[in-house]
Chains A and B, each alone.
Chain A
Amino acid sequence: MRQPTFTRPLVLILIALGVAAAGGGCGASEDAPASTPALAASSLNRAEFAERAEAICSRGRREAIRFQPAGTDESKRDALTNDIEGTLLPSIDGAIGKLYALGAPAEEREQVEALLLAMREAVDTAEGLEPPTVEGIEDLFARSGKLARRAGLFSCAYGG
């Protein structure tokens, strides 16, 4: 049976909204949001937040630099490039995602948000390094390192 013509725009709008809603979830994950989200307010107090954030950053650092010796058929330089691209940067990105998910106490929110933006910016720029080097990455984290130390989150200072 043919639908009345006045319902067609409504159907199209509903379809478009559905596609948009589904698309919003594409590529997003708990650890690594596709776009930079606003930092949620957290019910944690300052000390609890610092402890949890430091733990996230320590674990992220350990994962990022974990020992993966070069295979027999690859040069050390290629192995390091693969390691930086395949493990180091994704691990740091994962830690940033977890920090976003943690949120921050209201009074720390602005400071932590600036830190996370600087960290994400460093990761984004590092992904374009050619060739990627640890030294180059540490340089890119200089600003976020200063912000991390200023916030008392020493484990989150990956450079500087």
Chain B
Amino acid sequence: MPKARLALAVLGAVLLGTPCAAAGAQGHPVFAASEPSYLEGERTGTDRWVVHGTEIACGRLTFSGELAADSDTLEVLPEHSECTAKALTGLIADFYQETCAYVLHDLRRAGPAARWEATVDIRCGGGYDATGWDLYENEDRYRAAHPLCETRILEGPDAGTAELRNLGGRRGGIEVRWDLHDLAYRVYTLEGFGASLLCGSPRNGVTKDAAYTGAATIFATGTGEKPTGLRVRG
């Protein structure tokens, strides 16, 4: 399956690579790698979600994706695990599904010294239109798949920005600082749509106060797992 996806990425590169490369050469910034690549990344430092005033902290966060050589966009899929909602004595926060990606586009310069900024969209696939988590009161309820409430962050454009910095060196790579805010979400309870002490009471169904901040490094590898020098090229 990964081979098939890489083949698609290669095909994409053949179809799209030339115009993108040409655009890059003319000063239009692109995400660049020496060949179609797999993307891998992980969080650096701390990060946090805040939804309805409640912080969700995760022990682990990784990113994955593919890049068709040079591209105007970079799409990575975050995978959160070992998450806790910092409410009461700490509640289990289980990420619901992982098919919603961060799509970085509209690259532009951001200040001096090789810094860039991109707009971030949240885009879901696989028949889903939202990501999010389920909150559980304790381990027993988690094992019984009986959440207190469910928060669903909705997909949508302009979810925020990502500040980017090329890491340089032969390996390449990009440091990303996420600043996503005013994200729309819905809250569900076991009785259906409703209010919850833990997840909040959405006004008119949707609330727009979720935020995510954090930093990550993303690297790219090609055939033979060789680094392909991922960078933003202006």
The residue in chain B whose Cβ has the minimal distance to the Cβ of A76 is B89
A80-B138, A134-B148, A154-B202 known; A160+B87 contact, CB < 8 A: no
Cβ A134 vs Cβ B198 within 8 A: yes
User: B194 to A158, Cβ gap below 8 A?
Assistant: no
* Residues in A whose Cβ lies below 8 Å from that of B138: 76-77, 80
A159–B200 alpha-carbon span in the complex (Å) = 9
User: Which residue among A67, A145, A149, A155 has the maximum number of chain B CB atoms within 10 Å of its CB?
Assistant: A67
A77 to B139, CA, bound (A): 10
Give Cα A133–Cα B148 distance, bound, in whole angstroms: 10
Within A10-38, the residues touching B (CB, 8 Å) are none
Of all chain B residues, which has the CB nearest A57?
A: B201
Flag if A145 contacts B201 (CB, 8 Å): yes
User: Could you tell me if A160 and B195 are in contact, using CB atoms closer than 8 angstroms?
Assistant: yes
B90 within 8 A of A: yes
A158 and B195 in contact (CB under 8 A), knowing A135-B137, A138-B189? yes
Point out the residues of chain A lying under 8 angstroms from B198, CB to CB: 65, 134, 138
Residue in contact with A138 in the complex, picked from B87, B90, B141, B148, CB distance below 8 Å: B148
- Determine the chain A residues whose CB is within 8 A of the CB of B88 once the complex forms: 65-68, 80, 83-84, 88, 134
B113 within 8 A of A: no
Contacts of A68 in B (CB 8 A): 88-89
Q: Is residue A55 within 8 Å, beta carbon to beta carbon, of the partner chain?
A: no
Determine the main DSSP class of B at the interface with A: loop
Selected contact of B197 from candidates A80, A154, A159, CB within 8 Å = A159
B89/A158 in contact, CB under 8 A? no
Residues of A contacting B201 in the complex (Cβ-Cβ under 8 angstroms): 145, 148-149, 154-155, 157-158
B191 touches A160 (CB 8 A): yes
Contact of A160 among B90, B194, B202 (CB under 8 A): B194
Pairwise interchain contact A159-B195, C-beta atoms closer than 8 A: yes
Chain B residues contacting A141 (CB-CB under 8 Å) are 195, 197
The answer, yes or no, to whether B44 is at the interface (CB within 8 Å) is: no
Interface residues in chain B, defined as those with a beta carbon under 8 Å from any beta carbon in chain A: 53-55, 86-90, 137-138, 141, 148-149, 189, 191, 194-198, 200-203
What is A's interface to B at a CB cutoff of 8 Å?
58, 61-62, 64-70, 76-77, 79-80, 83-84, 88, 133-135, 137-138, 141-142, 145, 148-149, 154-155, 157-160
Q: Which 8 A-B pairs have the closest CB atoms?
A: A157-B195, A157-B201, A67-B86, A65-B87, A145-B195, A79-B89, A154-B201, A158-B197
